[in-house]
Structure 1
Amino acid sequence: MSVAELSRETAAPPAFALYRAIWRWHFYAGLLVLPFLFSLAVTGSLYLFKDEINAIVYAKELTVAPSDAAMLAPSEIVKRAQAAVPGTAFRYAPPEATDRSAEVGIDSGSQGRLSVFVNPHTGEVLGQFADSGSSRTPLMQFIKKIHSLDYFGWLPNRVIEIVAGWTLVLVITGFYLWWPRGQRGGVMSIRQRPPQRVFWRDLHAVTGALAGALIFFLAITGLPWSGFWGAKLNSLADQYGLGYPAQFFAEVPKSDAHAAHMGKAMTQTSWSLENAPMPQSGATMGEPIGLDTAVAIFDGLGISKGYIVDLPQDGEGVYSASVFPDQVAGERVIHLDQYSGAPLFDGGFAELGPVGKTIEFGVSVHQGQEFGRVNQLVMLAACLAIIAMSVSAIVMWWKRRPKGTLGAPRYPQDMRIPRTILIIACAVGLIFPLVGLTLLLALAADIFAPKLFA
Structure 2
Amino acid sequence: MNDPFVSLETPARPQVSAESSASASKKSAASQLYQVVWRWHFYAGILTAPIFWIVTITGALYVFQTELTASRDQSLREVAVGEERISYERLRELAAAEVAPIELEGIMVSPDPSRSVAFVAPTEMHDPAREEERDHDHGREKHRHIYLDPYTGEVLGSKIAEDDFFAIVLSLHRSLMMGTTGRILSELATSWGLLLLATGVYLWWPRGKKNVGVWVPRVKGKLYAVLRDWHAVSGLYFVPLAVIVMGTGLFFAVVMGSAFNASVKAAGHWAPKWFGPAVSAPVAEGAEPASLDQVMSTLLSHSRGKDDLIPVRFVTNPKDAYKAFLIQDDDKNKLRMVSVDQYTAETIDVVDAADNPFLYRVRVWAVSIHMGKIFGMPTKILALVTSIALFLLSVTGVWMWWKRRPKGRTGFPRRPATGAMPAWGWLVILVAAILLPVAGISMLAVALIDLLWGKIDRMRGAA
Q: TM-score range by the shorter chain?
A: 0.7 to 0.9
CA distance in 2, matches of 1:230, 1:444: 27
**Match for residue 181 of structure 1?**
207
* Structure 1 pair 297–98 and aligned structure 2 pair: CA distance change class (3 A): closer
The answer to whether the Cα contact below 8 Å between 1:88 and 1:108 also exists between their aligned partners in 2 is no
Q: In structure 2, how many angstroms separate the alpha carbons of the residues matched to 1:211 and 1:160?
A: 21
How far does residue 283 in structure 1 lie from its aligned partner after superposition?
4.0
Task: Quote how far apart the aligned CAs of 1:329 are.
Answer: 5.2
Question: Alpha-carbon deviations, 1:369-413, whole Å to 9, x = none?
Answer: 222221111111101111211221121001122233332222223
Check whether the contact 2:333–2:368 (CA below 8 A) recurs between aligned residues: no
Moved over 6 A (4+): 5-9
Q: Which amino acid aligns with 2:195?
A: V
1:379 aligns with 2:383: yes
Residue ranges of structure 2 left out of the alignment (5+ in a row): 16-25, 126-140, 458-463
Matched, 1:164 2:177: no
- Structure 1 residue identity aligned to 2:175: L
Aligned to 2:135: none
Of 425, 430, 433 in structure 1, the residue corresponding to residue 434 of structure 2 is 430
User: Could you tell me which of 77, 85, 91 is aligned with 2:91?
Assistant: 77
Q: Describe how 1:80-95 pairs up with structure 2 within 5 A.
A: 80-86=94-100, 87-95=102-110
Q: Map 1:15-164 to 2 at 5 A.
A: 15-65=30-80, 67=81, 69-86=83-100, 87-109=102-124, 113-132=143-162, 138-149=164-175, 151-164=177-190
Q: C-alpha offsets along residues 87-125 of structure 1, whole Å, 9 cap, x if unaligned?
A: 312111113422221111023535953110011121111
State how far apart, in whole Å, the 2-side matches of 1:370 and 1:92 are.
27
Q: Find the counterpart in structure 1 of residue 401 from structure 2.
A: 397
CA distance in 2, matches of 1:361, 1:97: 27
Contact 2:55–2:186, Cα closer than 8 Å, also in 1: no
Distance (whole Å) between structure 2 residues aligned to residue 41 and residue 14 of structure 1: 36
Q: Quick one: structure 1 residues 125 and 107, their matched pair in 2 at CA, closer, same or farther if it must change by over 3 Å? A: same
Q: Report how far residue 338 of structure 1 moved.
A: 2.1
1:235, CA displacement in angstroms?
2.2
Show CA shifts across 1:280-312 (max 9, x none). 445473222232121122233456532211211
| TM-score relative to the length of structure 2 | 0.83
| Aligned counterpart, 1:325 | 328
Residue 12 (1) aligns with residue 11 (2): no
Q: Which amino acid aligns with 2:83?
A: A
| CA displacement, residues 298-329 of structure 1 (integer Å, 9 cap, x when unaligned) | 23345653221121133344311112324655
The answer for the alignment partner of 2:374 in structure 1 is 370
Alignment pair present for 1:289 and 2:290: yes
> Counterpart amino acid of 2:270?
G
Q: Would the aligned equivalents of 1:18 and 1:417 in 2 still touch at CA under 8 Å?
A: no
Alpha-carbon distance, 1:243 to partner: 3.2
Whichever residue aligns with residue 297 of structure 2, its letter is A
Report the Cα offset of residue 166 of structure 1. 1.0
Pairwise CA RMSD: 2.8
Q: State how many pairs are aligned.
A: 420
Most deviating of 169-178 and 28-37: 28-37
C-alpha separation in 2, matches of 1:412 and 1:50: 47
Residue number in structure 2 paired with 1:267: none
**TM-score with structure 1 setting the length:** 0.85
User: Match for 2:246: what amino acid?
Assistant: A
Taking the aligned partners of 1:361 and 1:109, their CA distance within structure 2 comes to: 36
* Counterpart mapping for 1:320-359 below 5 A: 320-326=323-329, 330-359=334-363
Q: Which of 318, 321, 324 does residue 315 from structure 1 map onto? A: 318
Are the equivalent residues in 2 in contact too, given 1:325–1:331 (CA < 8 A)?
yes
Q: Percent identity?
A: 26
Provide the residue aligned with 2:22 in structure 1.
Answer: none
Which ranges in structure 1 are unaligned for 5 or more consecutive residues?
249-272
**How much has 1:337 moved relative to structure 2?**
3.4
- The answer to whether the Cα contact below 8 Å between 1:17 and 1:417 also exists between their aligned partners in 2 is no
Moved more, 145-154 or 40-49: 145-154
- Structure ranking higher on relative contact order (CA contacts 8 Å, 6+ apart): 2
Change (3 A) 1:108 1:192: closer
For the residue of structure 1 that corresponds to 2:446, the secondary structure is helix
